[in-house]
Amino acid sequence: MGLQDLFGQAAALHQRGQLVEAERLYQQILAGAPKAFAPLHMLGVLRAQQGRAEEACELIAAALKINPRDGGALANYGNVLTLLGRFEEALASYDRALAIAPDAETLRNRAQALQSLNRPRDALASYDAALQRDPTDVQSWFKRGVLLGEMERPDESLASYDRVLALQPGHVEALNNRGYGWWLFKHRYVPAIADMQKALALAPDLPYARGGVLHLNMYVADWSRLERERAAISHGIRSGARVARPFMLQALSDDPAELQACARLYVRDLYPPVAVPPHDPGLRKGRSKIRIGYLSGEFREQATAILMAGLYERHDRAQFEIIAVDNDSADHSAMTARLKQAFDAWIDIGGLTSADAAARIREAGIDILVNLNGYFGKHRMDVFAHRPAPLQVNYLGFPGTLGAPYIDYIIADRVVIPPGEERFYDEQVITLPDSYQVNDDRGRPLAAIPSRKEAGLPDDAFVFCNFNQSYKLTPGTFASWMRILQQVEGSVLWLLEAAKPFAENIAAHASAHGVAPERILFAPDRPPDQHLARLSLADLFLDGLPYNAHTTASDALWAGVPLVTQRGTAFPGRVAASLLLAADLPELVTENAADYEALAVRLAKNPDALKAIKKKLVESRTTCALFDTDRFRRNIETAYQQMWQRWLAGETPKMKDGGTIHVRPVEVK
């Protein structure tokens, strides 16, 4: 058999997926003709299919030395370089291939390389060029939809997914992504749930889809499948399956071990550690100041910024340099303008790859990099995976472990992480003396306080309220609220308005509990200053489980509205207790549902008792630990100093006994 016939046989085997047999024949040909272009090229392609990208790269490069103008080999060389993360070289190879033999697939692959280089406009142009050549190219339409979503062009993103599904109605990823688009961009839960449920029906093992569908159902208070789905998600996590994202699970689970297992699965799947050179303590020992980097995707009018602004401003500049690491969140709001003045330096990483962003942070010499997002909002766990700073800290944005080996500390307090529960946190636990949550005692700006009538409230009713996002509301919490309403004649419950069909479902649940739906009132979304102004119209804030009110709780307390909570069994369900204890209001913390309901009813029926609580709250607001920003600043700076001294001394973050590092209160001299 001649070499040409032998190659034909090898190529046929290769095409059928019989890689071992094809490899044997390619090697046989090359043994007799080591500079044969076609078998060198195709053996390189085969090596890439086997996951041996370095060898593939060498083989295809050798083939191109023999025939440097073969468009197919140039395109495949670009594909292998992309696998190796050598995107600039890949782009050059794709361009050479397209100059010889332009085709839709190469244009699509070129677009993906451009995306990896954070050149979204160029990538979009390449996808569009691919679709001009082949308007039926499903993958180009799909990847274009993904890119447009990342570019925050939602209508075009959704339209791209529509084209995918017109061409291929069972395209699972397009259905799932379009569902997320309806949710995140349009807040339209009915079409979002329909798309995601269809995707899940087609692919029951679709990563994170089961948790995503349940999370969306929680947004609209559809609890019909809650218990069944909740049990399935727990089983999946125990089995090591990718069934739920950590942020979504926090509103469903009160089990810290389960929350930890979910976070570990997630980080191992999407954000594994990247091998990088270690940081050298010897290069930093002579510094007079510790450089703190705060990495956030929310340097704007948002809860994290509202809580943190005063701390940024008051950090002790004799001991610390404070650097903002911004994931493309800055806008033209008054808050962003304030924050721009609060930092010593500002690094924008929104348009950078994870490797480039990490390099910028390393170049800035940041000593302690604080993760203010975790898995919430516009986070950058991919950057933390590159270990750009010697110490990396989980704080505020995500109330739980991130499950990542490259996050060294979690800042907490003894309430949210009690002694003995350190095992549920992959980070070293370090607790502050008061609440872990920072607050700005210079106040949150308030608009003019409306009348009850202007806010849509009855003048003579006792107003219970809860302004958490709707996904935090569970049947157990709602049942407690309905029992409270039944015992307090003429009372109403004031909730934050949410997208349809939330109100309709809540009305049905209220009726099922024997409570008239008219007693449930809804507050439309308002800017923070207007929302805070109307908050004071409520009489009592009712907390929930397993995810408490966090920023919404401190908002209520700042507005002078007492809050009743039941202490939970995991970090997210203990935050309100932490805040109340720091506000000198331990009498509002209960340990079970019966006591929680009884306390709420007693305060509603006893005006003098409630008045005394409100008076205490107002008077203590200027003296309590919760709203003493400078006291908090001293304590968290002590925590940073302890972390840093341990690192300089060559100690690992984890305590040998597995315990907690407790920061002692810092007194003013």
Q: What angle do CA 250, 256, 258 make, to 5 degrees?
A: 75
Same domain, 592 and 473: yes
Residues 6+ apart with CB under 8 A from 564: 540, 541, 542, 543, 588, 590, 596, 599, 600, 603
Element of type H or E holding 136: none
Which of 427, 587, 567 minimizes the C-alpha distance to 412?
427
Q: Which residues pair with 326 in a beta bridge?
A: 296, 348
- Domain final residue pick, 592, 607, 627: 627
Tokens 């913390």 -> residue: 589
| Same domain membership, residue 531 and residue 409 | no
Share of the chain above pLDDT 70, in %: 99
CATH label of the domain that carries residue 331: 3.40.50.11380
Mean pLDDT of the chain: 95
pLDDT, tens only, 463-491 = 999 999 999 999 999 999 999 999 999 99
Q: Mind listing the pLDDT tens digit for each residue in 284-329?
A: 887 889 999 999 999 998 999 999 999 999 999 999 999 999 998 7
pLDDT at 197: 97
Given a contact cutoff of 8 angstroms between Cβ atoms, the answer to whether 570 and 255 are in contact is yes
pLDDT, tens only, 381-425: 999 999 999 999 999 999 999 999 999 999 999 999 999 999 999
Closest CA to 151 of 118, 175, 111: 118
Q: Is residue 570 part of a domain?
A: yes
Element (H, E) at 243: none
DSSP labels, 270-310: H------PPP-GGGTTT-SSEEEEEEES--SSSHHHHHHHH
One domain, residues 467 and 605: yes
CA 280/CA 267 separation, integer angstroms: 26
What is the pairing mode between strands 563-566 and 540-542?
A: parallel
Q: Which range of residues forms the domain containing residue 304?
A: 281-432
- Provide the CATH number for the domain around residue 471: 3.40.50.2000
Give residue-wise pLDDT tens across range 79-107: 999 999 999 999 999 999 999 999 999 99
pLDDT digits (tens, 9 = 90+) for 235-248: 999 999 999 999 99
Residue 18 has pLDDT above 70, yes or no: yes
- Domain shared by 315 and 405, yes or no: yes
**Is the confidence at residue 250, as pLDDT, over 60?**
yes
Average the pLDDT over 151-163 and give the result: 97
Cα separations in angstroms, 197 against 82, 107, 206, 214, 252: 33, 33, 11, 10, 19
pLDDT at residue 6 in the model: 85
- 445 pLDDT band, cuts 50/70/90, is confident
Residue 1: is its pLDDT beyond 60?
A: no
Look at residue 332 and tell me whether its pLDDT is greater than 90: no
DSSP string across 558-576: HTT--EEEE--SSGGGTHH
Structure tokens at 653: 């973050």
How confident is the model over 30-81, as pLDDT tens digits?
888 889 999 999 999 999 999 999 999 999 999 999 999 999 999 999 999 9
Same domain, 394 and 473: no
Residue 668: predicted pLDDT: 67
My answer on whether 298 and 374 are in the same domain is yes
Residue 196 lies in a domain: no
The verdict on residue 40 lying in a domain is no
The residue among 384, 412, 432 that closes a domain is 432
Instruction: Tell me if 584 is assigned to some domain.
Output: yes
Task: Assess if residue 173 is contained within a domain.
Answer: no
Both 500 and 602 in one domain: the answer is yes
According to the model, what pLDDT value does residue 2 have? 63
Give me the residue label for tokens 């700006």.
Answer: 445
Close Cβ partners of 313 (under 8 Å, ≥ 6 residues apart)? 341, 342
411 shares its domain with 291? yes
How far from chain centre, in Å, is Cα 36? 51
Domain count, the chain: 2
**279 to each of 367, 389, 515, 655, how far by Cα in Å?**
10, 8, 61, 20
pLDDT per residue as tens digits for the range 197-244: 999 999 999 999 999 999 999 999 999 999 999 999 999 999 999 999
| 310 and 390 both lie in a single domain | yes
Tell me the pLDDT tens digit for each residue of 517-539.
999 999 999 998 899 999 999 99
* Percent helix, percent strand, percent coil in the chain, to nearest 5: 55, 10, 40
- pLDDT for 471 equals 97
Q: Is residue 45 part of a domain?
A: no
Asked whether the beta carbons of 408 and 653 are under 8 A apart, the reply is yes
The pLDDT-based confidence of 669 (bands split at 50, 70, 90) is low
Report angle CA 107, 108, 109 to the nearest 5 degrees.
90
User: How far is the C-alpha of 516 from the C-alpha of 551, rounded, in Å?
Assistant: 30
- Are residues 361 and 510 part of one domain? no
pLDDT at 444 over 80: no
- d(C-alpha 449, C-alpha 351), whole Å: 41
Measured from the Cβ of residue 109, the count of other Cβ atoms closer than 10 Å reads 26
pLDDT of residue 7: 87
The number of residues making up the chain comes to: 669
Long-range own/partner contacts, residues 501-506 (CB < 8 A, 24 or more apart): 501/189, 501/190, 501/220, 501/222, 502/219, 502/220, 502/221, 502/470, 505/220, 505/221, 505/222, 506/221, 506/478
DSSP for 580-622 reads: HHHTT-GGGEESSHHHHHHHHHHHHH-HHHHHHHHHHHHHHTT
C-alpha–C-alpha distance, residues 472 and 488, integer Å: 24
Q: What is the mean pLDDT of residues 598-614?
A: 98
Considering the domain boundaries, does residue 22 fall inside one? no
Both 410 and 524 in a single domain? no
- pLDDT tens digit sequence for 648-666: 999 999 998 889 999 998 7
Q: How far is CA 2 from the centre of its chain?
A: 59
Q: What pLDDT band is residue 634 in, cutting at 50, 70 and 90? A: very high
Q: Which helix (H) or strand (E) holds 407?
A: none
Confidence category of residue 266, pLDDT binned at 50, 70, 90: very high
Q: Domain end: 432, 449, 472, which one? A: 432
621 in a domain, yes or no?
yes
Claim to verify: residue 417 and residue 485 sit in the same structural domain: no
Report the alpha-carbon distance of residue 148 to residue 546 in Å, rounded.
Answer: 35
